Amino acid sequence: MTTKIVISGSGLWKPSHIITNEELVEAYNGYAAKFNSQHAGDIEDGKVSAKPFSSAEFIEKASGIKARYAYIKDGILDIDRMRPRIPERTEGELSHQAEIALNAAKVALTEANKSPSDIDAVIVSCAYTERYYPAIAIEVQHALGISGFGFDMLVACSAATFALQRAYEMVASGTAKSVLVINPELTSPQVNYQDRDSHFIFGDVSTATVVESSETCNSKHSYEILGTKAITLYSNNIRSNFGYITNSTDADPYAADKFFHQEGRSVFKEVCPMAAKHIVDQLQELQMTPNDPARWWLHQANLNMNLLISKRILGRQATAEEAPIVLDEFANTASAGSLIAFNLHHKDLNEGDIGVICSFGAGYSIGSLVLRKCAIH
């Protein structure tokens, strides 16, 4: 009998701080008014572009986002700062990102009925890490007392699905018996809160999953991984140019291109058909049709993207039960979005039900897993 590889536990941690669209708009518009006043002469002479104003209605119509969680709210709404005021920690203290990673990891371990001694590999995979070395995964491994190894991965909004694929391969090959995958998405430091078109997009959160063999699984809710699929296609349409050589180029570390920026219309036009085709192709490879999955846990970047992708796949609008939306509460949480949807909307499925986790984003990158609900223990 072939050993099955399963997701046996899922964890979600969210910050206590919430920023509503209304709060964010009030701060941004205050900043824009101040900027326009200070640069009135240059704006009149055509040397500087005036900052456009925003509204909560604009944000919700453009994205479906109503609010977002912030790891540190202080500073973001200060029109003289417009970025979170995150206190520096000493090298002997637990890093900020390791802290939120641990919060989600502990929940996932509990859900999987696992202790740290049962885990022998840790993958931290997200859009950004707060430092390059030592790896955040190794810091988390040390904090939990896990033997084995850990490493970090960066694949922007597809980091979680790509890491789950690595975990699946590691368990299948015998490299590890149980893998803890964590997505500590501390995105707020990379948001340009002075840019009307992107200041509302991201929120902070952390998710985690446990991947193991069905032979060692003893959790109440588990999902067999029937298949994984990943694809990348290079594009500059979603980009951040901040990096370790910024200091050597003498570039302005606070310049707009050093933060998240995108060509939103191009992304929408190009990624939606790519993601839909990717999912349909994977289902066909598994001898399934789009009618087989009962649940679609899609990347949570933009409501309109999800509606279009599901319509391309199903030939109709997916219901809220079929393709749950969480971005209204969480905003875009980079790679964690589809895992938040999975975490909050999986326990109601019945044994044998099929579900699809899919992410898509910068790179371009698309990752997906087709799952089947196992018997409830």
* Residues identified as active-site: 157
User: DSSP alpha helices (H): ranges in the chain?
Assistant: 21-38, 40-44, 56-63, 96-111, 136-144, 159-173, 246-249, 264-285, 303-314, 327-330, 337-344
Nearest CA-CA partner of 192 in 241, 256, 252: 256
**16: number of CA atoms within 13 Å, CB side?**
1
CA distances from 75 to 85, 103, 166, 243 (A): 5, 24, 37, 23
Nearest CA-CA partner of 26 in 200, 239, 281, 285: 200
Q: Token pair of 177, please?
A: 């018996």
Cβ-in-10-Å burial (0-12, 13-18, 19+) of 346 comes to buried
Question: How many residues can be counted in the chain?
Answer: 377
Q: Token pair of 230, please?
A: 């990943």
What is the Cα–Cα distance from 307 to 302, expressed in whole angstroms?
Answer: 9
For 22, residues 6+ apart whose C-beta sits below 8 A from its C-beta are 56
Task: Identify the H or E element spanning 31.
Answer: helix 21-38
Q: Token pair of 304, please?
A: 């309109």
Question: How far from the centroid of its chain's Cα atoms is residue 36's Cα?
Answer: 34
264-285 helix and 303-314 helix, angle to the nearest 10 degrees: 40
Number of H helices, E strands in the chain: 11, 13
